[in-house]
């Protein structure tokens, strides 16, 4: 179905139909997996004009396959955007977008609450090597970002809500402050995905997602996307993706588009389960705070309610002060919650985390141990039973 006609439909219809056309593929419902390095052309002239229609796009495996294009079309349709580019991981998408926009001597503004490797690897290694000055700003800055702009500032990078501590940024206030400055706005939108938040509609230039999480949705593939609303931004991204030789594999793109078909029903269920578990956790004496934007007690609740259409299944918990052994006793006994670094799959997951080690613009004010939970699609009553038994071990170990 063409991208243009998709615009007339509502969200769940778009994710069911965008980026696939059975009539082009023997009636097969899903776009096929094209494994390709070499692409051949019928004539020398066709080969020499392969960057023009009908060949533009699939010229050589590295520049993309029809499977990749089908996935990208579905993602951009969900965002109501112009186009998307896919990458072999979320971090690759972040690194590629930075490298598309910066040069030696530039200055970049980065939210203090970004995903750890955005700070430590993209900023701490790549930007440093390139001689780009990195400044971290308080995620609650809003329109105040304007005061931090310099003549050599090229981009403002947001992540909302922030990693581990889930502060919600006032994205429209930031993009409003950047209007007319020529400074690019970027956001890591992985938590909400295009289903619960569409930053393009708030004027963000580059919307980055680790499709590894909710888009793929089954913890079995690595994938990233960057979505833009102008052909100019698309060409900038694609030029650098081709230069670095970034290539999202066809099997992973296939899993990405297949995951996307059910992202609506999955996210609605993740939200329902997470709200139930987060509300229960908030009532416990062992819990100092639950960091989940959908809870009215959270500082970002009003902005979340204004800008997002829902909340995903990921949140943080700060416990009352306790020795590490108590947290270990609690977590090591979980059976349903796996312990691992990712999230966004159908299953529940948890990990310990240390936001105090990562914040510089606004020091972390938490005192107790912090854990991140991803609430999966299990029955939330079973998860609550498991967490409750975990608190028994926690309490026994801190006596
Ligand atoms: C918020 C956020 N952005 C980006 C990434 C990176 O994605 P990937 O693991 O696909 O490189 C992650 C991974 O955990 C993440 O949590």
> What is the CATH classification number for the domain harbouring 357?
3.90.1150.10
Query: Is 0.85 topped by the overall pTM?
Result: yes
Task: Give the residue from 215, 242, 260 where a domain finishes.
Answer: 260
**Same domain flag for 206 and 294:** no
How does DSSP classify residue 219? S
Task: Give the residue from 226, 260, 294 where a domain finishes.
Answer: 260
State the pLDDT at residue 332.
98
CA gap 282, 253 in Å, rounded: 38
The residues of the chain scoring below 70 in pLDDT are: 1-5, 54-57
Residue numbers of the domain that contains 282:
263-398
> What is the CATH classification number for the domain harbouring 72?
3.40.640.10
pLDDT tens for 15-63 read: 999 999 999 999 999 999 999 999 999 999 989 988 887 666 678 999 8
Q: Does ligand 1 have an atom closer than 6 angstroms to the CB of 163?
A: yes
**Same domain flag for 151 and 55:** yes
In the chain, where do the E strands start and end?
83-87, 107-111, 133-137, 153-159, 184-188, 206-210, 224-228, 287-291, 314-319, 338-339, 349-353, 370-374
Residue written as token pair 């090597």: 129
Query: 308 by DSSP, 3-state: which?
Result: coil
CA gap 383, 381 in Å, rounded: 5
**Same domain flag for 247 and 289:** no
**Same domain flag for 334 and 206:** no
Q: Does ligand 1 have an atom closer than 6 angstroms to the CB of 115?
A: yes
Closest-CA residue, ligand 1 atom 16, reads 115
**Same domain flag for 192 and 252:** yes
Task: Give the residue from 260, 286, 311 where a domain finishes.
Answer: 260
State the pLDDT at residue 346.
98
Best of 88, 115, 248 to mutate for ligand 1, by most ligand atoms within 8 A of CB? 115
Instruction: Locate the ligand 1 atom nearest the alpha carbon of residue 159 and give its number.
Output: 1
Q: With beta carbons less than 8 A apart as the criterion, state whether 315 and 292 touch.
A: yes
Count of the separate structural domains present in the chain: 2
Query: 380 by DSSP, 3-state: which?
Result: helix
Closest-CA residue, ligand 1 atom 9, reads 90
- Hey, which residues are catalytic here? 62, 115, 188, 213
Tokens of 114: 């970004």
Q: Does ligand 1 have an atom closer than 6 angstroms to the CB of 224?
A: yes
Burial class of 104 by CB neighbour count within 10 A (0 to 12, 13 to 18, 19+) = exposed
**Same domain flag for 47 and 60:** yes
**Same domain flag for 250 and 285:** no
């Amino acid at each position: 179905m063409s991208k243009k006609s998709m615009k007339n439909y509502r969200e769940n219809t778009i994710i069911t139909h965008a980026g696939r056309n059975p009539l082009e593929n023997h009636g097969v419902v899903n776009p096929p997996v094209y494994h390709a390095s070499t692409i051949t052309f019928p004539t020398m002239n066709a080969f020499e004009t392969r960057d023009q229609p009908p060949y533009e796009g699939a010229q050589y495996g590295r520049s993309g396959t029809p499977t990749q294009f089908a996935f990208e079309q579905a993602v951009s349709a969900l965002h109501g955007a112009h186009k998307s580019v896919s990458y072999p991981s979320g971090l690759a998408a972040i690194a590629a977008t930075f490298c598309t926009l910066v040069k030696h001597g530039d200055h970049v503004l980065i939210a203090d609450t970004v995903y750890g490797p955005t700070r430590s690897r993209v900023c701490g290694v790549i930007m440093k090597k390139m001689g780009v000055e990195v400044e971290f700003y308080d995620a609650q800055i809003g329109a105040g970002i304007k005061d931090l702009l310099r003549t050599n500032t090229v981009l403002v990078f947001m992540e909302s809500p922030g990693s581990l501590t889930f502060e919600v940024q006032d994205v429209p206030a930031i993009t409003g402050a950047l209007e007319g400055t020529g400074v690019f706005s970027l956001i890591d939108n992985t938590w909400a995905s295009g289903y619960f938040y569409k930053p393009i509609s708030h004027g963000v230039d580059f919307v980055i997602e680790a499709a590894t999480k909710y888009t793929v949705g089954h913890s079995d593939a690595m994938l990233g996307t960057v979505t833009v609303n102008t052909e100019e931004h698309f060409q900038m991204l694609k030029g650098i993706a081709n230069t670095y030789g970034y290539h999202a594999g066809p099997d992973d793109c296939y899993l990405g588009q297949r995951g996307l078909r059910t992202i609506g029903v999955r996210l609605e269920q993740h939200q329902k389960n997470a709200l139930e578990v987060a509300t229960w956790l908030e009532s416990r004496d062992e819990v100092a705070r639950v960091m989940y934007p959908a809870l009215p007690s959270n500082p970002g609740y009003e902005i979340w309610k204004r800008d997002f259409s829902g909340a995903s299944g990921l949140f943080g918990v700060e416990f009352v002060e306790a020795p590490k052994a108590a947290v270990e006793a609690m977590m090591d006994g979980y059976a349903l919650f796996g312990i691992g670094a990712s999230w966004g799959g159908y299953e529940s997951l948890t990990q310990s985390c240390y936001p105090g080690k990562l914040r510089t613009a606004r020091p972390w004010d938490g005192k107790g141990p912090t854990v991140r939970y991803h609430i999966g699609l299990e029955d939330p009553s079973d998860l609550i039973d498991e967490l409750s038994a975990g608190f028994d071990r926690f309490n026994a170990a801190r006596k």
